[in-house]
Copies of this chain bind each other. A is one copy, B any other.
Amino acid sequence: MKAYTDMTQDELRALHSDLKAQYKDWQDKGLDLNMARGKPGKDQLDLSMGLLDVVTSQDDMVLEDGTDLRNYGVLDGLPAAKDLMAGMMNVKSDQVIIYGNSSLNVMYDQIARSMTHGVNGSKPWAKLDTVKWLCPSPGYDRHFGITEWFGIEMITIPMTPEGPDMDMVEKLVAEDEAIKGMWCVPMYSNPQGVVYSDETVRRIAALNPKAGDFRVYWDNAYCIHHLYDEHPTLLNILDECEKAGHPDMAMMFASTSKVVFPGAGISALATSKTNKDFILRQLTNQTIGYDKINQYRHVKFFKNVDGLKAHMKKHADIIRPKFEAVEHILEEELGGLEIGTWLNPRGGYFIHFDTLPGCAKRTVELAKDAGVVMTGAGATFPYHNDPQDTSIRIAPTLPSADEMAQAARLFALCVKLAACEKLIA
């Protein structure tokens, strides 16, 4: 394959009409596929049907400690549910609070509370002129949605293959008291699939922020979502923060949304005792308690963290071929052309693709006009502003393997077409 950048303008023009003809053929196929969101496919959902009838009998209703699952009580989660989620997150049970169905909602609540009540006694952020937040990017659009909603000024931090650019992070938090937090998806980051290196985790734990109420929001969304048996490991941020003398600096989040059913799972937060005590003061006013029956469904269905991990292997067996199909097609279609780069993740829900500068929006537009919806280009950056316009998130899990292959083939064509358009003077 000849790299596009090595082609003459005449070669590019000839290529362009050829690609346009191919694109026209694809349009005529009338595809209607969605690679936009990280939704599990139907076959994945089928894996957890047993969750729905595992707790239906009278015998299950009253636990040994006398708790009736069906009545009020138990603010911070059933002990057995804490054990399960602690195992999943690799933390201690007494660091855990079990919440409702959405970890996003838990993160939202942490920021909402900090706005009105500060952090463990600090000044409420709503009383400050400016609150800023570090946003390693590309990142999770819904994280950025929360900080934007609260009027928090988002600072884009470039991602490296080891995690966020720590030189920049260290410098910024040490200088600017308005910086109150940082989004992290440390394991199989959304969307790149980057796993933070041990050094990155230790440097985060060792941060010396000017703001005493600076918090690392550690969204461990994909902590057990490995695609391969042999998988990378992630240092425990709570332990590292404690060792570094900042025991309260991190809050870890996770949920079973992509373990069982999105919307019908349970979520959890893990953090230090000091943070937990402060959070519970809010929680006691916010709700009487979360859904204990659903907590117990999880406990009974999985039994323990080994059950959870065995279940995740079944997910991996379903989605790994989809990831590999996309990766294979990208290599086949785009290898050597020097018009895009991508990572082959070892877990998580996304494949991230970088086009030539200035080509991401156009590529996504072309795909859409041929019937394949992708996440909006730029969505993975604060304010939807991808400064280089290169970032595209591919979500391979929802379509079938055949559909996925078709969509990936079309996507590669759109990458070529957009690059060609760009390079023609």
Contacts and interface: CB of A to CB of B under 8 A. Distances in A.
Contacts of A8: none
Nearest to A74: B263
Interface stretch (A48-56, A168-176, A185-193): A48-56
Contact of A72 (B39, B53, B69, B126): B39
Interface in A390-406: none
A387 to B, nearest CB: 23
Interface in A271-302: 282, 284-294
A240 to B, nearest CB: 30
Contacts of A40: 71
A146 B72 CA distance: 18
Interface stretch (A100-108, A201-209, A323-331, A336-344): A100-108
A335 interface: no
A104 B288 contact: yes
Contact of A100 (B46, B52, B100, B262): B100
A108 B286 contact: yes
A142 B127 CA distance: 26
A228 interface: no
B105 A115 contact: no
B263 A37 contact: no
A39 B292 CA distance: 15
Contacts of A69: 261, 263-264
A283 B338 CA distance: 42
B52 A71 contact: no
A167 B290 CA distance: 39
A150 B287 CA distance: 14
Nearest to A266: B291
B286 A105 contact: yes
Contact of A293 (B46, B52, B70, B126): B52
Nearest to A101: B291
A56 to B, nearest CB: 4
B45 A288 contact: no
Contacts of A61: 45
Contacts of A293: 52, 261, 263-264
Given A45-B70, A70-B45, A127-B126, A263 B286 contact: no
B45 A49 contact: no
A291 B291 contact: yes
B70 A150 contact: no
Contacts of A262: 70-72, 288-289
Contact of A56 (B42, B52, B284): B52
Interface string A217-261: 000000000000000000000000000000000000000010001
A145 interface: yes
Nearest to A261: B70
Residue among A58, A100, A146 with max Cβ neighbours from chain B (10 Å):
A100
A211 interface: no
A412 to B, nearest CB: 27
Contact of A108 (B42, B100, B115, B287): B287
A39 B108 CA distance: 30
A288 B68 CA distance: 29
A238 B222 CA distance: 44
Given A105-B286, A263-B288, 4 more contacts: A53-B56, A56-B56, A69-B263, A104-B287
In the A-B complex, the 3 residue pairs with the smallest Cβ-Cβ separation, listed nearest first, are A126-B126, A70-B261, A53-B56
